[in-house]
Amino acid sequence: MHNLIGFVSDAHGNGPAFDKAVKILIAEGARSLYFLGDAVGYVPSVAVLDSLMRLGKRINCIRGNHEVMLTNLQIDLERESIYQFNSLRNILTCEHLKMISTWPICRRVEINGLKLLLVHGSPRDPTYGYVHPDTDLSSFVTDADLVFMGNTHRPFIRRLGKTCYVNVGSCGLPRDDGRFGAVVLFDPTRNHVRILRFDIKAEFEQVLEEFPTVHPEVRKVYERRGLSVYGDIL
């Protein structure tokens, strides 16, 4: 079996969806796992952080913009009812904060002669950048063969020159179609990337029942339906 690598991102407190995403990647043959940030935000839950702690060295993480805002004690009063950081800070433990503090803002990995750049945002702005399906990729300068990123919650695979840009989407709060979380499976032997989509309707309902304070605007994201879904639906 090829040494497959699994990528997951933007869980945003949706613990059941994150756990499902990890199980899918392992079942599909992933031997290495990477989390590209935003375990928190929108849902005032530490469930994803707890799962990451249990996974330990089995998964490598980078910080997303929500981890940075949380740990830097940034407060946006206009958006607090959406982000819900204050509620989250009340249940965070020292262990959670210590774990997050070890996450870098980007990672560079070389495997089978391929250079991988892993960021939450973009090659130009690793933490806060947004790379959408229609973003002009020519504005980025990188020597990476593949760039894996998240933050927009919209998965895609695009190539420009020698670089393949992969947005792994969101496992917990997809913005293209709220029914289907996303993960990525990468085969470095064949240099092949596959986006997998999986049903999270039951997981979403579970989270909303447990956390009724989730903002209506966040609930609307789950209710979105796309004309098409990017990736392979499992």
The region that residue 90 occupies, defined by phi over 0 for left and psi between -120 and 50 for alpha, beta otherwise, is: alpha
Encode pLDDT of 82-112 as tens digits: 999 999 999 999 999 999 999 999 999 999 9
At 78 the pLDDT is 79
pTM for this predicted structure: 0.95
Place of tokens 């063969």: 145
* 200, 172 contact by CB (below 8 A): yes
User: For 12-26, 69-83, 138-152, 160-174, which range has the lowest pLDDT when averaged over its residues?
Assistant: 69-83
Q: How far apart are CA 181 and CA 178, in angstroms?
A: 7
DSSP letter at 140 equals -
Cα-trace Rg, the chain: 17
HSE, side-chain direction, 13 A CA sphere, residue 83: 18
Q: Is residue 82 part of a domain?
A: yes
Q: Which CATH number belongs to the domain containing residue 70 in this structure?
A: 3.60.21.10
Question: Which positions ≥6 away from 60 have C-beta within 8 Å?
Answer: 32, 33, 34, 35, 107
Inform me whether the pLDDT recorded for 131 exceeds 60.
yes
Residue 132 lies in a domain: no
Strands (E), 24-173: 30-35, 59-61, 106-111, 114-119, 146-149, 156-160, 163-167
What distances in angstroms separate CA 47 from CA 16, 174, 177, 216, one per listed residue?
Answer: 8, 18, 23, 21
What integer best gives the mean pLDDT of the chain? 94
Over residues 123-151, mean pLDDT: 96
Instruction: Determine the structural domain holding residue 200 and report its residue range.
Output: 4-103+173-233
- Asked, for residue 108, whether it belongs to a domain, the answer is no
pLDDT (tens digit per residue) in 50-90: 999 999 999 999 999 999 999 887 667 778 999 999 999 99
* Residue 115: pLDDT over 90: yes
Beta strand extents in the chain (DSSP E only): 4-8, 30-35, 59-61, 106-111, 114-119, 146-149, 156-160, 163-167, 180-187, 192-199, 232-233
Tens of pLDDT, residue by residue over 167-184, are 999 999 999 999 999 999
> Using an 8 Å Cβ cutoff, are 92 and 120 in contact?
no
pLDDT at 198: 98
pLDDT score of 1 more than 80: no
In a domain, 11, yes or no: yes
113 located within any domain: no
pLDDT at site 145: 97
- Block residue for tokens 């997809």: 174
- The total number of structural domains in the chain stands at 1
Residue 183 lies in a domain: yes
Question: Does some domain include residue 177?
Answer: yes
The answer as to whether 10 is a domain residue is: yes
Q: Residues of the chain with pLDDT > 70: what percent? A: 98
